[in-house]
Structure 1
Amino acid sequence: MATSTEFIDIKRAKPLEVDPAERVKDWNEYQKPFSEKKIKQQASRCMDCGTPFCQIGLNINSSTSGCPLYNLIPEWNALVQQGKWYEAYLRLAKTNNFPEFTARACPAPCEGSCTAGIPSDPVTIKSIEKAIIDRAFSEGWVKPRIPRKKTGLKIAIIGSGPAGLTAADDLNQLGHSVTVFEREDRFGGLLMYGIPNMKIDKSHVQRRIDLLKEEGIEFRANVNVGVDLSLEELQASFDSVLLCIGAEKPRELTIEGRQLKGIYPAMEYLTASTKHYLQSSSEPDITAKDKRVIVIGGGDTGADCVATALRQGCKSVIQFGKHGKLPLRRQKDNPWPENPHVFSLDYAYEEAVHLFGEDPRQYYIQTQSFIGNENGEVKGLNTTYFNQDDQETRYWEADLVLIAIGFEGVKDEYFQTINRSNNRISTTTNSYQTNLEGVYVAGDARRGQSLIVWAIQEGKKAALEIDHFLKAKKITSEQC
């Protein structure tokens, strides 16, 4: 801080964005960078707290507060304010393997627990992080780090999402030989196919994959472990195996008419849309073009479906949520440093307001049944209201319905020899070890559907545990 009152004297600036009227015409990232002067001003708002709650990384009342990566946020804020960009990058990279991902895809619980948010508005931590890492790449500071020594030990990682990539990065830097197996044709997991391009341009994902390859990590695409290659075969060929397979089993609506054509899990729709964008094929497998779209589920994935449908040229789009409209300010039952549950107009909703004149969200909606036509295609659905005693029924027309109500956990068909509980892969207490020796798990497959920062944290901790296991195994074998 230059003085002691910037967090009050300088107002929080909203990240710059492309105008909704323009950005719905393409799939480019909608956020724009601040000027250097502006980002320095925003960084100076950091209070350099004695106890920086922005980096506590805790779950409070089932919601994340602070950064689970324990990013050194006040330190790199101060360095940015001083114009020491390279030093700021070094501090950021010390705790975060992939800041270019988190600065785009993380909902920033660090800002929700920022102390400046008590008397004023929180620091724009996410925008500052993005400015640091984008500058680091543009200046050429992010270079391949080739491990000097190799241990001769081999690790197989199944899944190339944020948990798998993080573990691969850390284990490679520790000198182990790492091979990442991915069943899709491109690497990155949900970073590549689950999050739309307008939130995270896929060139950023591919750039990091290319960097990891230069550092010595082997990537194998189009390999569905459990089908093309068995877990037992991997165990025989590698010293350890890490499962980072995600929690891909979608939560279903088991109601009348679910079998109708035109009803899809949200992630299936988003994946098809991104594949179409990357492959430039003539028509996506699932499209919202000229259709009346209803998205069931009020979270971020649902918002991404809304934004995607708008870009595909939908006739209309409505999003159902089971909860009520959030308040404009924190309520007494949602105190700081909890993540604030307050109303906001996300990028997708701004775009819908611009195109259709109103926020697409409908509240307290419960879907009762789907209605089809003579061809077995969905043509509408019936709903009731959660907050009404009379349970009034309403009919909504729809040509495309997207179910975005979350995930149940790991898909049932995977790795039957590994124990699981509550649709997650089980581990021993405070560990990443499964019931099979040398086989570990990290990310959503272990903890359930969560944030990218938790996935990265899991990848880092699993990598350390595997390293300890391999070192102990090597010592034992040498003694024998």
Structure 2
Amino acid sequence: MAERMLQFVRLSQAQPEKRDIAARRSDFGEIYREFAAEAASAQASRCSQCGVPFCSIHCPLNQNIPDWLKLTAEGRLEEAHEVNSATNTFPEICGRICPQDRLCEGNCVIEKGFEAVTIGAVEKYINDTAWANGWVKPPSPRQERSHSIGIIGAGPAGLATAERLRSRGWQVHVYDRYDRVGGLMIYGIPNFKLEKEVVLRRWKQFEAGGIHFHLNVAIGTDITLAELRAKHDAVFIATGVYKARDIETPGSGLAGIVPALDYLTASNRDNLGDSVPDFASGALDAKGKRVVVLGGGDTAMDCVRTAIRQGAAAVTCLYRRDKANMPGSMREVKNAEEEGVEFTWLAAPEAFIGDGKVEAVRATRMHLGLPDTTGRQQVAPIPGSEFTVPCDLAIKALGFDAEDLPAMFGEPALAVTRWGTVKVDHRTMMTTLPGVFAGGDIVRGASLVVWAIRDGRDAADQIEAYVTAKAGAALATAAE
């Protein structure tokens, strides 16, 4: 190990090469080139193989990162893939979109002084190699079980649950209101971060493994939650959160002001070849427009970078805190800056200006105060600091809240929290309805794909325990 690992003292950190800025501004292709085998092996060898791997501790999936880095350094890629995929349902996706700078890499013990191991890029390399070589297989249970599970939502949480249960032989049915599998991984995240084929090939693979998908099915309209409960031995709710947060400001009803998800969905559907009337009409197309994006999270970064690729005349991001306090990935901010996005820090919108259609955003300068109870610095406006930003398209990327699921599902007994998220027993992940479980963003609030995968895998274990115990109790009762 000493010869192959701990090379951080000799080798500098290196990310895969980025495509030329002008080229990547002109299309929606992923911006990073592939690691060469030698480069991936060399970067993996920088791992210090520390006794307490903080990278693993700070990964929501607690992946065995030092193990698969060592295997990669030794050229044992198939084994690296097996170790990686043992704890992660979608490692090829996490390698692309996880904010590693805030999670595993941000907590790498060599970060201070030597720069972190490029964990995300190596993970992407391992699993792209695995797909290319046919090492990734559909779920293949050793024994079929008769009990069935219904899963509401084909996003990362629902798919992770489906894969784990199916691999153990359960009959799994996934219901989704959209026409493709993947949730926000398909319709919310742009291609330059996650090319859609990476998600769609998992859909095909899961179908080949015996998972049944029922698409264009809205729970509460096409089928009720009560009917699902009667049809399946357990139900898992993994709908995510889609209700856009809003701001009540003068002029908010003007044309040309749109929610981030509407904008991103239109762009992604257009890239998938769908007919999108609002995109074709120009309502959700930034071409030639002065675009202002409100917000500072990863969704805001997706919007500004999408607008650049659509040929916007100018793209400005307004965020009420400073760069250091942004909730999004610093890596994404850097990519956006390189591509020509202008950031206006410590600025909050106070009105939209226009005659029938937005023409400008009036904002005010902010200053940071003392931390609040969450530890984040409070913000307050600076009197007399108002300014305007010309704008033809304003995109609100202010976060997401839960939809009213009890009303949507026609199930008032489904309890929710004061934030509208589904209330669960966090030990069992069961809701107030017996046999109905929930996880992912609909329980956590808007969060990361990797946390949704963690919840999905944990929920599968809890569902299996519940159905097995229920079946055992029924047999015992029958025997009496």
Aligned to 1:350: 338
Q: Answer whether contact 2:301 2:333 (CA < 8 A) is retained.
A: no
Sequence identity (%): 38
Please report how far the alpha carbon of residue 322 of structure 1 lies from its aligned counterpart in structure 2 after TM superposition: 1.1
User: 3-state SS of the aligned residue for 2:395?
Assistant: strand
* 1:76-155 alignment, distance < 5 Å: 76-108=68-100, 109-155=103-149
Please report how far the alpha carbon of residue 411 of structure 1 lies from its aligned counterpart in structure 2 after TM superposition: 4.0
Aligned to 1:404: 397
Of 314, 324, 332, the residue aligned with 2:322 is: 324
Q: Answer whether contact 1:248 1:411 (CA < 8 A) is retained.
A: no
Please report how far the alpha carbon of residue 147 of structure 1 lies from its aligned counterpart in structure 2 after TM superposition: 1.3
- Shift in CA distance, 267/132, structure 1 to aligned 2, threshold 3 Å: same
Q: How many residues align?
A: 453
Please report how far the alpha carbon of residue 250 of structure 1 lies from its aligned counterpart in structure 2 after TM superposition: 1.4
- Shift in CA distance, 238/280, structure 1 to aligned 2, threshold 3 Å: closer
Of 432, 451, 456, the residue aligned with 2:453 is: 456
Of 282, 290, 293, the residue aligned with 1:292 is: 290
Aligned to 2:26: 25
Q: Which digits, 9 at most, give the CA deviation of each residue in 1:79-110, with x for residues without a partner? A: 11111111111111110111111111111110
In structure 1, C-alpha distance between the alignment counterparts of 2:359 and 2:202, rounded to whole Å: 43
Q: Answer whether contact 1:440 1:462 (CA < 8 A) is retained.
A: yes
In structure 1, C-alpha distance between the alignment counterparts of 2:382 and 2:238, rounded to whole Å: 44
* 1:32-51 alignment, distance < 5 Å: 32-51=33-52
Please report how far the alpha carbon of residue 17 of structure 1 lies from its aligned counterpart in structure 2 after TM superposition: 1.3
* 1:378 and 2:358 correspond: yes
Superposition CA RMSD, Å: 1.9
Please report how far the alpha carbon of residue 9 of structure 1 lies from its aligned counterpart in structure 2 after TM superposition: 1.6
Please report how far the alpha carbon of residue 344 of structure 1 lies from its aligned counterpart in structure 2 after TM superposition: 7.1
In structure 1, C-alpha distance between the alignment counterparts of 2:323 and 2:105, rounded to whole Å: 21
- What stretches of structure 2 of length at least 5 have no aligned partner? 368-380
**Residue type matched to 1:81 in 2?**
A
In structure 2, C-alpha distance between the alignment counterparts of 1:145 and 1:311, rounded to whole Å: 37
Aligned to 1:269: 263
Please report how far the alpha carbon of residue 473 of structure 1 lies from its aligned counterpart in structure 2 after TM superposition: 1.0
Of 388, 398, 403, the residue aligned with 1:395 is: 388
Please report how far the alpha carbon of residue 391 of structure 1 lies from its aligned counterpart in structure 2 after TM superposition: 3.8
User: 3-state SS of the aligned residue for 1:92?
Assistant: helix
Please say which of residues 130-139 and 404-413 is displaced more in the overlay: 404-413
**Residue type matched to 1:381 in 2?**
V
- Shift in CA distance, 164/343, structure 1 to aligned 2, threshold 3 Å: closer
* 1:426 and 2:423 correspond: yes
In structure 2, C-alpha distance between the alignment counterparts of 1:445 and 1:414, rounded to whole Å: 14
In structure 1, C-alpha distance between the alignment counterparts of 2:12 and 2:256, rounded to whole Å: 46
In structure 2, C-alpha distance between the alignment counterparts of 1:372 and 1:244, rounded to whole Å: 40
TM-score (norm 1): 0.91
In structure 2, C-alpha distance between the alignment counterparts of 1:468 and 1:44, rounded to whole Å: 40
Aligned to 1:171: 165
In structure 2, C-alpha distance between the alignment counterparts of 1:411 and 1:127, rounded to whole Å: 38
TM-score (norm 2): 0.91
Please report how far the alpha carbon of residue 400 of structure 1 lies from its aligned counterpart in structure 2 after TM superposition: 0.6
Aligned to 2:343: 361
Q: Which digits, 9 at most, give the CA deviation of each residue in 1:148-198, with x for residues without a partner? A: 322111111011110000000011112111111111111100111110011
User: 3-state SS of the aligned residue for 2:272?
Assistant: helix
Aligned to 1:53: 54
Q: Answer whether contact 2:269 2:276 (CA < 8 A) is retained.
A: no
